[in-house]
Every structure is written in structure tokens, then in C-alpha cells.
Amino acid sequence: MPLTAILIGAGQRGALDYAPYALHHPDELQFVAVAEPVPERRERFARQHRLPLENVYESWEPLLARPKMAEAALVCTQDQQHTAPTLAALQAGYHVLLEKPMATRLDECVQMVEAAEQTGRQLHVCHVLRYTRHAQTIRQVIQSGALGEIINVDQRENVGYWHMAHSYVRGIWANSANSSPMILAKCCHDFDILLWWLGRRCQRLSSVGSLRHFRTENAPDGAPARCLDGCPAEKTCPYYAPFIYLDLIPLWRSFAATAIGSPRWAMQTNLRAPGLFRAAGRVVPLLRQVSEYRGWPRSVVAVDPTPENVLEALRHGPYGRCVYHCDNDVVDHQSVLMAFEGPLSVTLTMHGHSHIEYRTTRIEGTRGRLMAELGLGGAWVEVRDHRSGKRERINTSPPLGEGHGGGDNALMAAFVRSLRSGGDQALTLGRQSLQSHLLAFTAEQARLSGSVLDV
């Protein structure tokens, strides 16, 4: 019999990234109810998972007021709306899979971890990078001793300029009062894998960063409030909304630049000859997934992301705004310098001006060096030995089309396994996540105060 679950929040992450696992593995997981305030999303999820009308809700309160109807609850609401449904679900007896970040306040993160431990329920946080082949390979190399003693780690979150504009200027994470600091929203993943890779505590940290570019004074002369209101810079501005959401050129460039083998060739062909690519897509289903693409970021702009619907959303919705005339206040660059036990120096750099979207890792040890890259199209890890000079490159790319480096599906599989087995270590998962969140909150405090802080 499959495990049963309810979904609270049927947006991009809940409905489109995690829940499809149940459609692909119906023998392992089945959704029996949903709570979602947006009618189109709610109805789409109910239709896809064949839910009875009485199990479809506009909000989570009446759903969790009912007697427990499943083993697990996925909480995938907006960041500032995580705490209340998570606490209610734990108290109602559900195991919880919680989208990251856990919450926008440290005390609320602590409250949820304590509630899970008091109720004996499993609390998993969606740190999907842990579950990628890429991150697991890096951890295996570190633990093998091939690098010797680790001396320095440099982790970079190179956020594509177009992704920065989408999520942190026009989007729901743009204003810290309504969401969370960008270092928490974007980099709690990175803090988590650094702690996981190194197996050591961070003792002190400092941080610098600011909002440099996406400000009113940097707008092109005559730029209107919306891109489609006759912007004089539409031919040259890299943030012009139709260029990002209709042409999708920045997305495909990022994919092509990081893909390996035939996917790289296919994406390069799509960029050079889009008409030919569309024609080939009529007879090759795999190519049609590109030529008729309906995924992220289009799927956030419109529930049914046809080109016509996306264009209409850009005329009236938040994603059609000029990036220089938004209400954003989160940083567009930030660096964190950390002293880990060892002693070991670690830097984490996040910025929103990268030409392509990818993470890079450099680890220096007494016997070797590790370099790694994780992008939208593929991933690799390279290890070089100091003495022999031998270099080994490992292809850590996920199967084509799998989100977050394959981490989304692997996370769901691990969640199901943990619930089936009773999760021997499950009570520590929430507390492990709490450590990465503590680093993010402390980094933001250090940035604002200009201080070096003990962790």
C-alpha cells in the first residue's frame, strides 16, 4: 500500500516539483487532500491526483481540523506562512516535509523542531542539494581522504541575472519584510551542504553585502513602470520581461553552458536556429519539451503558461514590472567568511549578476584540490592530486529534466523510505536544518551590524 499524504500549498514547489513523485510512483505515495487558496492551482492539483471534492480546501485550517486522514503533510506555503500549518500538522499526528527555509524567524524554526521532538513526528526540511549525486560525490571525496586535511572551502552561489530579477526583484522574495533575507531564502541550501560535507561546526563569521544595482537611480532614461509600456531600452536591457519569459534565451543559455554531451549540442542548436529546432520538435517529443516549454520560470508567471497567457500576465502582473521600479530591498550580492573547527576557513559568496545560473565549489586540501560545478544543464566534480598531478573528472549530471540536480525526486524517495522505516535518525533532521538556518540568520545579523559574531 502506498503512503498517504496531504499537500498544503499547491504552488511551484509543492504541486510541480514534489507532488509529481506520487504520479510517477503511485505504489509508493498517494495524495488524498489539498489546501490551496488559488482556485486554478487547487483545481489542477485535485484533477491530477483525482481527489474527491470534500478533500479540496481553500485553506489549511479546516483540513487540519479534520481527524487525521494521512500519514504525512507537505507544507509548501510561502516562507512566512510555514510555522502555523507545520505546528498544527505535527500536533494532529502528521509527519511533515517542510519547504525551505523553515521560517523567516529563528525562534519559529526552533519552535517547529521542538514540536516535532515532543510529538515524536518526523520533520524533514527540503534541503534538496543533499540528495543530489553531485553533492554526495563531493562528500565522498572529502571523506575518502583524497584531499588530505581540508584547509579552505569556497562555495559560490552564482545566481543568474535573470533569476535574480525573477525571484528577488520582481518576485515574492524581493522584499525582506514580506519574505526573508536573501541569504536565508537562497543559501540555506549552501549552509546545509557545507555543514554536511565538512562534519564540523562553524564558530565565528562575518558578512558584507548590499543592494547595488536594482535601484530607481539606475533605470534607463525614460523607462516606464512596466516593460511593455513602451520602454526605450527594450532592445538592450537584459531584464526586459519578454526576453526572459517569452524568448527564454537566458534560461537556454544557462542550460547550454552547463550541459554535457548531446543535451549541450541540442541547446546550442536551439539558440542558433530556433525555427529549425521548433520544426524538429514536431516529430521528436523530447525536443518538443523545449520548443513548447511550460516549466519554471514561466509556470510562476501564469498558471497555464502558454505564450499568450504569459504575455497577458506580463502586461498586468508583477513579473512585467521594470526591475528598477519595484519594491525590492534584498541584497544583490553578499559574502560570508566563516571560521570552522579545525581551524578551517570557509567562504560563501552569493550574487545575482551571473551570466549563467550555477553553483561552483573549490576545496583546497593538503594532498589535493576539488573543483565542481552544478548548473541547470549538468554537473561535474574534478579532483587533482598534488603529488602525481593526476586529474579525475566525474560527471555528476542528473537525468535530463530532473529539477535541482535530481534532488527533488531523490528527496521524495528518501522521505518515503524514512516514513516506512520509522526514521531512526528522523528526529535529528529538523535539528540539523536548524543549524544551517542559524548560520543564515547570524550572517544577516553580521552584515547589518558590521560585526564578527560567534555562532
- Whole-prediction pTM value? 0.93
Q: Whole-number mean pLDDT of the chain?
A: 94
Range 366-377 average pLDDT: 96
Query: What does the pLDDT read at residue 283?
Result: 67
The answer to whether 71 and 94 are in contact (CB under 8 A) is yes
For residue 424, the model assigns a pLDDT of 53
Which residues, including other chains, have CB under 8 Å from residue 265's CB and lie 6 or more apart? none
pLDDT of residue 60: 98
The alpha carbon of residue 260 and the mean position of all alpha carbons in its chain are separated, in whole angstroms, by 22
Q: Has residue 426 got a pLDDT over 60?
A: no
Residue 122 has pLDDT above 90, yes or no: yes
Residues 6+ apart with CB under 8 A from 102: 82, 108, 109, 112, 125, 430, 433, 434, 437
Say what the pLDDT of residue 18 is. Answer: 96
Residue 349 confidence (pLDDT)? 98
| The pLDDT of residue 261 | 80
Contact by Cβ (8 Å): 124, 98: yes
pLDDT of residue 383: 98
pLDDT score recorded for residue 400: 75
252: pLDDT strictly greater than 60: yes
Distance CA 203, CA 179 (A): 27
Q: Does pLDDT of 155 surpass 90?
A: yes
What is the rounded average pLDDT of the residues 58-80?
A: 97
Position 286 scores a pLDDT of 65
Average pLDDT over residues 148-165: 98
Check whether 279 has a pLDDT greater than 80. no
Position 222: which residue type?
G
Average pLDDT over residues 297-313: 95
pLDDT above 70 covers a percentage of the chain that reads 97
pLDDT tens digits, residue range 1-44? Answer: 999 999 999 999 999 999 999 999 999 999 999 999 999 999 99
